[in-house]
Amino acid sequence: MTILDGKKISNMIKDEIKEEVDQMKDRREKVPHLAAVLVGNDGASQTYVNSKVKSCNRVGFESTLIKLENTITELELLRQIDKLNKNKDIDGFIVQLPLPPQINTQKVIMAIDPDKDVDGFHPANFGKMALDMTSFIPATPFGILELLERYDVETKGKHTVVIGRSHIVGRPMSILMGRKGWPGNSTVTQTHSHTKNITQIISQADIVISALGIPNFLKAEMVKDDAVVIDVGITRVPDDTKKKGYRIAGDADFEAVSKKASFITPVPGGVGPMTISMLLKNTLLAREMHLND
């Protein structure tokens, strides 16, 4: 059994990006510039955005953090986005979700210039992805592809079962695993809350990608021998032995499942740490695209 070590791979990718940025600097080229828009004071959102900014610093990107009041109107936010769209110095930007209730999230996503949409949430990017064109792939699915690639996991002709159909994980993942190329060329079964015989379907999977958010859902007896298990669950479980009062749990019963799997991502330290690196990768891609503008 091999652990798909997202923390290690994520650091490797950051080092690789830093090297590219150093070369840009040597050539006196503009370095990639990521902006992040944070609305309100949600603790988790602040943590995410801060670590995105910190990662930019680490790899040598420029970064801009735009903090907006929780009471901002939709129109004001759309104006900020328009400014970022027009600001030639900024290669890509993200609007940290969730947004306060007075704001229509879809409208906000639609307002982002697809060429700067490094989260890959705009339908123009999603459609390109589904039609096999180059695009910004959302960070979590992109990170999973990268892990499969770095660990040389065969996906062609394998049966991949994706649990969950969210716009940011399940749906893009099932499209990506069925695309031509590698990682891809899998037979993909997309399951969700209406799936009836989920246990029987999972038992057929060579690769299981679980994005359900139910700790301990995936048990050893459910997976095939030598299955590849990608655990995208991130649930906070109360735990008094931890300083924060909780621990992060994945969907899989890691201890038991890992004994049966050929590859498995731990939680934490698997898919999670990959996401920021993939955001940086998308920002680097945005910079390269804009070079040709």
Residues within the interface to its own copies (CB under 8 A):
106, 122-133, 135, 156-157, 159, 165, 167, 171, 174-175, 178-179, 185-192, 194-197, 201
- Asked if 3 contacts 61 with a C-beta cutoff of 8 angstroms, the reply is no
Nearer to its own copies, 12 or 110 (CB): 110
Active site includes 52? yes
Report CA-CA distances (Å) from 249 to 46, 98, 166, 207, 240. 21, 21, 19, 20, 14
Active site includes 119? yes
Neighbours of 244 (CB within 10 A): 8
Nearer to its own copies, 92 or 120 (CB): 120
Nearer to its own copies, 35 or 162 (CB): 162
Report in angstroms how near the CB of residue 182 gets to its own copies at its nearest.
Answer: 11
Q: Which of 5, 14, 52, 80 is catalytic?
A: 52
Structure token digits, residue 70 = 């929780």
Active site includes 206? no
Residue 40: which of 72, 16, 13, 77 has the closest Cα?
Answer: 72
Report in angstroms how near the CB of residue 185 gets to its own copies at its nearest.
Answer: 5
Report in angstroms how near the CB of residue 123 gets to its own copies at its nearest.
Answer: 3
Report in angstroms how near the CB of residue 113 gets to its own copies at its nearest.
Answer: 13
Report CA-CA distances (Å) from 7 to 99, 200, 272. 28, 32, 8
Nearer to its own copies, 123 or 268 (CB): 123
Q: Which of 14, 91, 96, 251 is catalytic?
A: 96
Residue 212: which of 267, 261, 274 has the closest Cα?
Answer: 267
Structure token digits, residue 142 = 């992109």
Active site residues: 52, 96, 119
